Amino acid sequence: MQKTSKALFGLATAFVMSSALPNLAKADELTLCWAAWDPANALVELSKDFTAKTGTQMKFEFVPWTSYADRFLNELNSHGKLCDLIIGDSQWIGGSAENGHYVKLNDFFDKEGIKMDDFVPATVVGYSEWPKNTPNYWALPAMGDVVGWTYRKDWFEKPELQKEFKEKYGHDLAAPKTYDELKQIAEFFQKRQIDGKTVYGASIYTERGSEGITMGVTNVLYDWGFQYENPKKPYDMEGFVNSDDAVKGLEFYKSLYDCCTPPGSSNVYMVESADAFKSGQVAMQMNFAFTWPGLYKDEKVGGERIGFFPNPAEKAHFAQLGGQGISVVSYSDKRDAALQYIKWFAQPDVQAKWWELGGFSCLNSVVNAPDFAKSQPYAQAFLDSMAIVKDFWAEPSYASLLQAMQKRVHNYVVAGNGTAKEALDGLVKDWSDVFKDDGKI
């Protein structure tokens, strides 16, 4: 009888242990959510070191950019437990902080000695802080990104084209430093025959459905003097969003679209712009810096054939910020393990490897290292671009603000309806309505 009891006890213990084992294994696994793109693949590679060091398995949930916001904002809004860590877009920070989706990281940073001063200041403001310019941190800067330009260095270096360009414009055919120069180059290449093929001036963002044309237009408007609001009075937009300078900036963007883009450029964003460049259609391309490593490696247009330059200047010198911070999802059951991942990711040697693998580190010790500018052909352009970044609204209602801008600027730039002044006046009205709804004005 005793033997039977022991056997039954043993069986019961074995059953309990076997059913508990999967749970234990699950606790040792973290899910990280992000967009499906080249840097995500680099992060998978990098995270193998984290697994080797801690034993925690990393699982990744990557979705295409076209459904990235829909998928993960739905996940956060429904308090889903899919993601323990999320690399969320910079504009989400306000909403995610105010709606309690992200864990506030101040105490954790203090405890672990992670200092925000160690990161590029613009990325801290852009990816981590809410409210902006206050020491309230909801993310660790993870992936620095900015809108810049690539150009066909091999075309620019053709002696006959250099000669013709200099005779026409009186200066060398080189990476432009001003918008006048950029437009001259774009006009110069528009519908030109190179190697028996018709090529075009530049590919710029014009996409209507998500955020494309806004990212492109703001990239130019900032340089003309466009401001989101009165620096002395928040949400006071009259005369700032629709200032005379902003109107001129928008007119310039339309003129660039009309004169110098390839046919069928009415709905272009990151992928389409990169495709236009890769297929040898355009001399210059506006695109986020994350595309640069892939383009540099491209067999047809990469290597010695490609050059990189930051956004040109006009009255001011800015570039549209992209990129994201990494946050711990407050609905995760594995907060501590997720925080350990952030602690590991913030280490200088990990950040250095992150840059090597194709990620864009935001850590000062990496980007300010003496050999950084020469570490990759695009490193200097990235560095110069990150020094001049500015971001779109990060308000909780950023999506409504974005939709209004998409509609107004696309209507003017691509559809050719009305004037630039009318488009920006309309934008002030739309944005004022959103802030009135939010009770902010």
Partner 1 sequence: MTISHSSIVEKAVDATARATPVSVARRVRGLSDRAIAWLFIAPAITLLLAINIFPLLWAVYLSFTNYRANRPNAPVQGVGFGNYQRVLNDPDIWQAMQTTAHFVFWTIVLQTVIGFTLAYLIDRKFRGHAFWTTIILIPMMLSPAVVGNFWRFLYEPQIGLFAYAVSLVSGIPTSDIQMLGNVTLAPWAIIIVDTWMWTPYVMLICLAGLRSIPDYIYEAAEVDRASPWRQFWSITVPMALPFIMLAVLFRGIENFKMFDMVTLLTGGGPGSVTEVASITLKRAAFESWATGRASAFAIILFVAVFGLANIYVKALNKVKQR
Residues 356-375 that bind partner 1 (CB under 8 A): none
Contact between 320 and partner 1 by CB under 8 A: the answer reads no
How big is the chain by its Cα radius of gyration, in Å? 25
Q: Does 71 bind partner 1 (CB under 8 A)?
A: no
176 part of the interface to partner 1, by CB under 8 A: no
Please identify, using beta-carbon distances, which residue of 306 and 434 lies nearer to partner 1: 434
| Stretch near partner 1 under the rule CB under 8 A, chosen from 41-49, 161-169, 262-270, 359-367 | 262-270
Using CB atoms within 10 Å of the CB of residue 98, give its burial: 0 to 12 exposed, 13 to 18 middle, 19+ buried.
middle
Regarding 201 and contact with partner 1 (CB under 8 A), the answer is no
Which residue number, 261 or 324, has a Cβ lying nearer to partner 1?
261
CB contact set of 22 (below 8 Å; sequence gap of 6+): none
The strands making up 147-152's β-sheet, listed across from edge to edge, are 192-194, 197-203, 282-288, 147-152, 306-309
Q: Is 208 in the site for partner 1 (CB under 8 A)?
A: yes
Shortest reach from residue 250's CB to partner 1, in Å: 14
Burial of 144 (0-12, 13-18, 19+ CB in 10 A): buried
Choose, by CB under 8 A, the member of 397, 425, 428, 441 that binds partner 1. 397
Q: For residues 355 and 353, what is the distance between their CA atoms, to the nearest angstrom?
A: 5
Task: Show the binding pattern over residues 89-118: x = contacts partner 1 (CB under 8 A), - = does not.
Answer: ------x--xxx------------------
Distance of CA 440 to the CA centre of its chain: 27
Query: Rule CB under 8 A: is residue 259 a binding residue for partner 1?
Result: no
74 binds partner 1 (CB under 8 A): yes
Can residue 411 be called a binding residue for partner 1 (CB under 8 A)? yes
254 binds partner 1 (CB under 8 A): no
DSSP summary character for residue 310: P
Other beta carbons within 10 angstroms of residue 166's beta carbon come to 12
The reply on whether position 439 binds partner 1 by CB under 8 A is no
Long-range CB contacts for residues 311-314, cutoff 8 Å, separation at least 24: 311/147, 311/148, 311/149, 311/219, 311/220, 311/223, 311/385, 311/388, 312/176, 312/177, 312/178, 312/179, 312/181, 312/182, 312/223, 313/177, 313/178, 313/179, 313/223, 314/178, 314/179, 314/223, 314/224, 314/249
135 binds partner 1 (CB under 8 A): no
Nearer to partner 1, 98 or 164 (CB): 98
Cβ of residue 221: shortest distance to partner 1, in angstroms? 18
Q: Which is nearer to partner 1, 31 or 91 (CB)?
A: 91
**Residue 264 Cβ vs partner 1, minimum distance, rounded to whole Å:** 4
Are the beta carbons of 216 and 229 closer than 8 angstroms? no
Q: The tokens 């696994």 sit on which residue?
A: 29
Minimum CB separation of residue 100 from partner 1 in Å reads: 7
- Measured CA to CA, the distance from residue 56 to residue 182 in angstroms comes to 49
Name the 3-class secondary structure at 101.
coil
Site for partner 1 (CB under 8 A): which residue of 399, 421, 422, 425? 399
**Buried/exposed 296-305: b ≥16 CB within 10 Å, e otherwise:** beeeebbeeb
CB of 409 to partner 1, least distance (A): 9
- Does residue 209 bind partner 1 (CB under 8 A)? yes
Structural tokens at position 143: 């992936």
Among 55, 196, 231, 264, binds partner 1 (CB under 8 A): 264
- Residue 262 interacting with partner 1 (CB under 8 A): yes
**Per CB under 8 A, does 77 bind partner 1?**
yes
**Member of 28, 49, 70, 172 binding partner 1 (CB under 8 A):** 70
Q: Which positions touch partner 1 (CB under 8 A)?
A: 69-70, 73-74, 76-77, 79, 95, 98-100, 207-210, 262-267, 281, 396-397, 399-400, 403, 407, 410-412, 414-417
